[in-house]
Structure 1
Amino acid sequence: MSATSVPGASRSLPGPIPTIPELDQYQDQPKQAPAGKVGKTGVLEMRFVDRGDKTILRDMYRKTPLLVQQALYWDEALPTMPCVYMISTSGSVLQGDRLFLTIEMEPGSLAHVTTQSATKVHRMDANHASQLQKVVLAENSYLELMPGVTIPHRNARYYARTDITVDPTATLLFSEIVMSGRKYHDGGEMFVYDLYSTMIKAERPDGKNLFTEKLVIEPARFPVRYGGIMGDHDVFGNVILLTPKEHADAILEEIVPGRDGKVVSGASRLPNDAGLIFKVLGPESEPVKAKVRDFWSLVRKAVLDTTIPPVPLWG
């Protein structure tokens, strides 16, 4: 392996678990393993370093149920870029899970980080699950953080927060695709989860705030089938691109917003010349993924002057 890994070492958590109002009613303890205890506090920390001939996953720490095995170099368009799959040993996100992810990009490094499959947020009858992510990009680094789709099951309560520190010369492409639920399970489970809350916050290394975006979905309290929210769409794609202004300008010129069949998409600028935000609504995951790939292709071309890999046979 190209990384140093100390899976059994004692290490403090990356940061305090935040207190947010929408989680107040979901603080009861599960009858099984208590929230945040052994086996339910997952930690994954990765640091990527430019070695000259290629970027390597120089340091890695993992604590179950989060796991990374090794970096792979399968992208023929970028053979010097490590591709890393994040794995859950529990198979899904469970009630009481507390997950922490940290990614550090050293100067000039580049990486692609994804998951081995969809993130399934399992049915819950107590407490909630959370994932806190910290992403730091140094000068001239490039990161594609593109996990698989998230599928919240019936009565799931899930909170995710992503804190980003990005140098003005660096680029981060961060995508999230959220399903309405298990659409074809037992007659359909669409928007029957209790809570889906996510927040993304970005700043410069000197602490200057760039933007904050927060999304809170509580379908039982606030129906989402209205126009201007989800309407008759079942899948939501949200893509954040933090990149120098000249790249953002070039990409925005290539985007044609509007409706393509049953898929609706569009892009707008982020505050403080931070980059772009691209959103997609669709009836199924595949057409939404296709729109995200189109945007990803524009990013690769503008920032790295190369192409994205073909759709894998298993994807």
Structure 2
Amino acid sequence: MTEAADRQPWRGTLELTYAHSQGTTRVTHTKTQAPLRIQRPHYPEGPGICYSTIVHTAGGMVGGDELVQTIDLQPESQAFITTPAAGKIYRSIGETCTHRINININANAYLEWFPQETIIFNAAQYHQQLRVNLAPSASIMLWDITRFGRTARGEEFEQGFWRSDVEVWQGETPLIIDRQCLPGSHNIIHSAHGLAGCPVVGTFALVGRDISDADLDNLRETLKQTDVPPLQIGLTRSLNGFICRYRGTSSELVRQGFMRLWQTLRQWHSGQVPPMPRVWH
């Protein structure tokens, strides 16, 4: 798929606000502009945590497209946000597509931000920016999974550009500043200092909760119970939380590892293992 000469770029927007009242988190404000829309919220775990699915109706982004999402969690609210399918970034003839996400999480609120993977087609130009503002008593669990090239078709990311800027702030204190970029190149994809032939990368982070050394050791043991090769995944402490990195060959394996971390952390926090979201089946 390429940009047609007369095609007008998409300028999609989404505004989403959650509020908590009488034990229930509800969506109290939505505003969308195509190609973004939000499905009806649901409550597989009961009224305390609101599950939402953000849909990109165009199926993917091409050069010049711009998406902007603004998400606000009011005090005490809890939300789980995902997408129904992998995002696709199609090849570009020169323009960059951008995706900006701004998330504000107020006092004692909690968000799980788990979009499905993003597939970067060869020759795509893509820049993602995620900025999270945490109140002192707020927290977030998030992941980001990226595949470079449609590897099932033998495609590699040999041209184009990918950039990801992830920031989590608490007031004036940066808790995570994570800037990554990758120019499309056969040498970089296969270099030991690049992706070492591994087309899939992923980041999982918990921010806003104290994690002990014993907790980290237990999480590492939990990962050993999955099929993820130990040399492809690792955990490290961050300010007020931890980060897990994956570099490997399988979207299925990174999802397996990240979902196990999510379910384990939730079980520690609430005493219950969360169900698999229906859109992931």
TM-score by structure 2 length? 0.89
**Gap change, CA 1:30 and 1:274, over 3 Å in 2:** farther
Specify the alignment match of 1:62 in structure 2: 32
Q: Determine whether 1:238 maps to 2:203.
A: yes
Rounded to whole Å, the distance in 1 between the matches of 2:200 and 2:47 is: 32
CA distance in 2, matches of 1:121, 1:313: 21
Q: Tell whether the 8 Å contact from 2:142 to 2:204 is kept in structure 1 after alignment.
A: yes
**1:54-203 paired onto structure 2 within 5 Å:** 54-73=24-43, 75-76=44-45, 78-185=46-153, 188-203=154-169
**Mapped pair 1:291 → 2:257:** yes
Q: 1:241-263 CA deviation, whole Å, 9 max, x = no partner?
A: 11221x46564231227986646
The one-character-per-residue Cα deviations of 1:207-253 (angstroms, maximum 9, x if unpaired) are 233231100011328613222542232211111211221x4656423
Matched AA of 2:161: L
Which stretches in structure 1 are left out of the alignment for 5+ residues?
1-28
Aligned residue identity for 1:115: T
- Say yes or no: does 1:223 pair with 2:188: yes
Which residue of structure 2 aligns with residue 24 of structure 1? none
User: Aligned equivalents of 2:196 and 2:257: distance in 1?
Assistant: 19
The secondary structure found in structure 1 opposite 2:181 is strand
Q: How does 1:295-310 map to 2 (within 5 A)?
A: 295-310=261-276
Greater share of residues in strand: 2
Alignment partner of 2:176 out of 186, 202, 211: 211
Cα distance change of structure 1 residues 141 and 314 upon mapping to structure 2, 3 Å threshold:
closer
Conservation of the 8 A alpha-carbon contact between 2:18 and 2:73: yes
Q: Which amino acid aligns with 1:277?
A: I
Question: Cα 1:52–1:249, aligned 2, differ >3 Å: closer, same or farther?
Answer: farther
303 and 222 in structure 1: CA distance in 2 versus 1, 3 angstrom threshold: farther
How many Å apart are 1:66 and its aligned residue?
A: 0.8
TM-superposed deviation, 1:34: 4.5
More helix by share: 2
Are 1:30 and 1:96, in contact at CA under 8 Å, matched by a contact in 2? no
Task: Count residues in correspondence.
Answer: 275
Contact 1:267 1:279 in 2 (8 A): yes
* Counterparts in 2 of 1:180 and 1:262: CA distance versus 1, 3 Å: farther
Structure 1 residues 38-67: Cα deviation after superposition (integer angstroms, max 9, x where no partner): xx1110111111112310011111011111
Letter in 1 for 2:217: E
Contact preservation (8 Å) 2:16, 2:29: yes
Task: Indicate how the Cα distance of structure 1 residues 282 and 42 shifts in structure 2: closer, same or farther if over 3 A, else same.
Answer: same
CA distance in 2 between counterparts of 1:31 and 1:86 reads: 29
Change (3 A) 1:43 1:314: closer
For structure 2, list consecutive stretches of 5 or more residues without a partner in the other structure. none
Structure-2 residue corresponding to 1:253 = 217
Equivalent-residue separation in structure 2 for 1:150 and 1:199 (angstroms): 15
Query: For 2:168 and 2:124, how far apart are their aligned partners in 1?
Result: 27
TM-score (norm 1): 0.80
**How many Å apart are 1:314 and its aligned residue?**
5.5
Structure 1: distance between partners of 2:133 and 2:144? 18
Contact 1:280 1:291 in 2 (8 A): no
